[in-house]
Amino acid sequence: MKLIAILFLCSRLLTSFAQDDQQQEIDCNDEDVFKAVDAALKKYNNGSKSGNQFVLYRITEVIKTEGQDTFYSVKYEMKEGNCAVQSGKTWQDCDYKEPEQAATGECMASIAKKWNMEFSVVTQTCHITPAEGPVVTYQYECYGCMYSISTVPADLDPVLRHAIQHFNNHTDHSHLFALKKVKRAQRQVVSGWDYEVTYLIQQTNCSKENFKVLTEDCKVLYNGDTGECTDLAYMDPQLRIASFSQKCEILSGEDFTIGCLGCPSEIPVDSPRLKEALTHSITKLNAENNATFYFKIDIVHRATSQVVAGARYFIEFTAKETTCSKESNKELTESCETNKLGEMLRCTADVIVVSWENRIDSTVKCQSPGKKQLRPCVYKGRPREAGTEPTSVSEAS
């Protein structure tokens, strides 16, 4: 019978990973899943020069990873059909061969959904069992494609071991750090493999004075320093790390609560880590404020820190007008004193510091605590502008 409609016998299916690592069940008959598997099966059939095409039997597993591109890691089963590979037909036009005469196969493929909605097979490995005979393995890799991979494959271990050793050998921290969690990983097939890996590290109880390398005795410190690193590594065909670069953002245990990496956490308002963020915030405030005099920070009320692609600070502070005018002074200096009778502003600043790029981005919003939003008053059923004196006891504000 011609396969007009394909029946997907899905045994548990489709776990989707969002950027915050939460899982979500997706319907088994999702159109994009069909397109991804269709691309993978066509890639396999087009790679055969003789014999019959294979026809989809069922999908058993799909993992969806979303980023700049969407990736589908698919596991599916197929059976030999009755259409020759040179027939010009697609696998949907074919019937299954009789069970005792049909070869079967199980494939694992990684398929990328591009911005133009096209599906491209990045890697595919198929194990084929002929109707009579041993298992045959087919493998396909897209050279030059960067694609997401699992954060726990065995071939990622050498990269991570090298990364931790590199960090411990090239930083002046007093203690050794250990790997805490891999957040995301990508791989590119070249003459060897390129890796891009982002992961979290945490300080251990092993000081460099007493330990040259990490051992089983090195345990992570709950209140120790922590950080996030992004590494680029090239592994040559001999499985050696031939090229490596690393960027890490480290937060001290005093300024960061390890209980939730990536979550905002309170930090002391006098923390030295806030100095750069506060300086940038008051500079931006003065640049965007059309007041005649410069403002300077008087009191920091509250601050939080968050690990993102760098460090993010949310700060609440009070700024006071100074005696330094913008006309007479090129910039705010420490010698500028606050004007006791001057204006006061209550401000919030959202600051992102990317230290390895020497980049700071901030948004500063301020308002005068003495200014309240004026509402029209009602006088004998008619609106009256705020600020005029009431003339009757029947007037309501």
Alpha-carbon gap, residue 303 to 267, rounded angstroms: 6
Alpha-carbon gap, residue 242 to 169, rounded angstroms: 17
Helix (H) / strand (E) containing 160: helix 157-170
Q: Which of 147, 180, 200 is the last residue of a domain?
A: 147
Question: Does residue 5 belong to any structural domain of this protein?
Answer: no
DSSP one-letter code for 119: E
Question: Does residue 22 belong to any structural domain of this protein?
Answer: yes
Count of domains forming the chain: 3
Are 199 and 283 in a shared domain? no
Q: What's the Cα-to-Cα distance from 267 to each of 203, 253, 314, rounded to whole Å?
A: 19, 10, 10
The residue whose two tokens read 């001999």 is 238
Q: Which domain holds residue 252?
A: 154-260
Burial of 214 (0-12, 13-18, 19+ CB in 10 A): middle
Are 248 and 346 in a shared domain? no
Q: Where are the beta strands (DSSP E) in the chain?
A: 15-17, 23-25, 52-66, 70-84, 104-113, 119-129, 136-141, 146-148, 175-190, 192-207, 226-235, 241-251, 265-266, 293-308, 310-325, 344-354, 359-367, 377-379, 382-384
Are 44 and 139 in a shared domain? yes
Q: Which of 147, 179, 212 is the last residue of a domain?
A: 147
Are 202 and 283 in a shared domain? no
> What is the CATH number for 222?
3.10.450.10
**Length of the chain, in residues:** 397
pTM, two decimals, is 0.40
Closest by alpha carbon to 397, among 377, 382, 374? 377
Tell me the pLDDT of the chain (397 aa) as tens digits.
Answer: 444 344 444 444 443 333 443 334 555 568 888 999 999 999 999 988 889 999 999 998 888 877 666 788 889 999 999 999 989 899 999 999 988 889 999 999 888 887 778 898 888 899 999 987 777 777 777 766 777 777 665 668 899 999 999 999 999 888 999 999 898 888 888 778 889 999 999 999 899 988 989 988 888 887 788 889 999 999 887 888 999 999 998 877 654 444 455 677 788 888 888 888 999 999 999 999 888 999 999 999 988 888 776 788 999 999 999 999 998 888 898 889 988 888 999 999 999 888 767 788 889 999 887 644 333 333 333 333 434 444 333 333 3
